Structure 1
Amino acid sequence: MTLDDLVDDVQDANRDLKDAGFALDRESRTELAMLVAALDPEDSDELVRRAIHALFDSYVQSGKLDFNLRSEYDATYDEYLAGMSYDEMAGAGGAGGQGLPQDEEEGRRYQY
């Protein structure tokens, strides 16, 4: 394949993405079109799912998720997964350190 083929494939993907079931600005659509051309997924939705996972992982690993959760909810991702605050885990007040019922706990647990 050649550079001309790449240009054609990106332009085709860009046109197809205009009809996608989600809204994208021009820059995002062009970037996604380049990824579609380069990675050749089954559909562009697969790349959107991968992007969400990559962004989530990046925020977890960098501590940005905890920073934002702490700022907004006074909790961390680990506390969310455990269903109790660090103080409750240490046995101080609150729910008595018993956590969530089993069915709610399974819904919160995120598997990497």
Structure 2
Amino acid sequence: MSLDDFTTDVESAYSELDDELSVSLDSQTKNELAVLSATLGPESTDDLVRRAVHLLFQSTTDSGQLDMHLRRNYDVTYDEYLSGMTYEEMSGGVSPSQPDDKERRYQF
């Protein structure tokens, strides 16, 4: 798989999230959510879920697990995804795919 494959998969997953997100909870998760809700007093439990996603993403990124999984499944890193180019493309080793009209990439 490649950077383009990963980008397509992210865009697809993002559009699917526009539908209402419904999650069923096991008793342990429900209890932990209740404790956090009572303790932190958010406006809604949705706020806690948003925080949880941010924390999971941050810890996965900081520990290198995100890059490990991306490299294994898509042969890219998160930095490559953010830049829209692989390291080989950045160094001039491989020509990037045709950029969209909206994109401007620096040419070396």
**Taking structure 1 as the reference length, what is the TM-score of the superposition?**
0.67
> Closer, same or farther in 2 for the Cα pair 1:61/1:44, shift >3 Å?
same
One-letter amino acid of the structure 2 residue matched with residue 93 of structure 1: V
Aligned equivalent of 2:5: none
One-letter amino acid of the structure 2 residue matched with residue 83 of structure 1: G
- Looking at structure 2, the residues matched to 34 and 73 of structure 1 have their Cα atoms a distance apart, in angstroms, of 38
> Closer, same or farther in 2 for the Cα pair 1:102/1:26, shift >3 Å?
farther
- Looking at structure 2, the residues matched to 33 and 63 of structure 1 have their Cα atoms a distance apart, in angstroms, of 30
- The CA RMSD measured in Å over matched residues stands at 2.4
Aligned equivalent of 2:50: 49
- Looking at structure 1, the residues matched to 68 and 33 of structure 2 have their Cα atoms a distance apart, in angstroms, of 28
- Looking at structure 1, the residues matched to 88 and 29 of structure 2 have their Cα atoms a distance apart, in angstroms, of 42
- Match status 1:93 vs 2:87: no
Find the structure with the greater CA-based Rg: 1
Alignment of 1:10-89 (within 5 A): 21-89=22-90
Identity of aligned residues (%): 51
Give the C-alpha shift of residue 102 in structure 1: 7.2
Instruction: Give 1 or 2: higher helix fraction.
Output: 1
Q: Provide Cα deviations, 1:8-39, integer angstroms capped at 9, x if missing partner.
A: xxxxxxxxxxxxx4211111111111000100
User: Secondary structure, in 3 states, of the residue corresponding to 2:67?
Assistant: helix
Structure 2 unmatched ranges of 5 or more: 1-21
Q: Provide Cα deviations, 1:53-86, integer angstroms capped at 9, x if missing partner.
A: 0000001111110001001100000000011100
- Looking at structure 2, the residues matched to 102 and 63 of structure 1 have their Cα atoms a distance apart, in angstroms, of 33
Aligned equivalent of 2:15: none
* Structure 1 consecutive aligned stretches of length 4 or more whose deviation exceeds 4 Å: 102-105
